[in-house]
């Protein structure tokens, strides 16, 4: 059983989020080709912009020409989706196991206190979410962003 003191649990979840974000970014970097993905995203975005422009101007000839390229664009989008699904399939099972362990170890106890709110954050439509989930999400977003940029998984444009 993990110690449940606030300072330790806060730091533990912070480091756990950093570790999981690092591992996810490494798996993503190893299983995907960020340069190719970036090129595909750019090509799809250019196609969509061109199609919207042609549709707004009513250029039927241009629309027809672009529609011939639609199947190719759908294939690119499918490849892009498969890139992210590969990583998700590898990461999801360990994450689910980790959440079962964390939920059992920490349960409803406060992990972090949010100024002005406390340890339970109310969300309209979702009810109250414990600080374990909020603290992990905040830390995870922070580290995911940092590691994604460090490993070149997102463009800096």
Q: Which helix (H) or strand (E) element contains residue 122?
A: strand 120-123
Output the six-digit token pair for 151: 């490993």
Q: Residue 110: its pLDDT value, please?
A: 72
Which residues sit opposite 130 in a β-bridge? 120
Q: Residue 2: its pLDDT value, please?
A: 47
State how far the alpha carbon of 88 is from the alpha carbons of 29, 32, 82, 91, in Å. 13, 12, 10, 5
Give the number of residues written for the chain: 157
The pTM for the full model equals 0.70
Model pLDDT for residues 17-55, shown as the tens digit of each residue: 999 999 999 998 888 888 888 899 999 999 999 999 999
Higher pLDDT, 112 or 144: 144
CA 20 to chain centre: 12
């Amino acid at each position: 059983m993990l110690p449940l003191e606030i300072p330790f649990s806060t730091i533990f979840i912070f480091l756990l989020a950093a570790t999981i974000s690092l591992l996810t970014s490494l798996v993503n970097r190893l299983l995907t080709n960020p340069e190719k993905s970036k090129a595909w995203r750019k090509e799809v975005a250019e196609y969509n912009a061109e199609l919207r422009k042609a549709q707004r101007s009513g250029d039927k000839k241009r629309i027809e020409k672009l529609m011939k390229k639609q199947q190719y664009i759908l294939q690119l989008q499918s490849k892009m989706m498969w890139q992210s699904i590969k990583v998700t399939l590898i990461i999801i099972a360990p994450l689910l196991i980790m959440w079962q362990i964390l939920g059992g170890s920490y349960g409803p106890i406060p992990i972090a206190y949010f100024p002005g709110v406390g340890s339970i954050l109310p969300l309209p439509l979702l009810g109250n979410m414990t600080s374990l989930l909020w603290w992990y999400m905040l830390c995870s977003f922070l580290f995911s962003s940092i590691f994604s940029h460090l490993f070149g998984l997102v463009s800096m444009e």
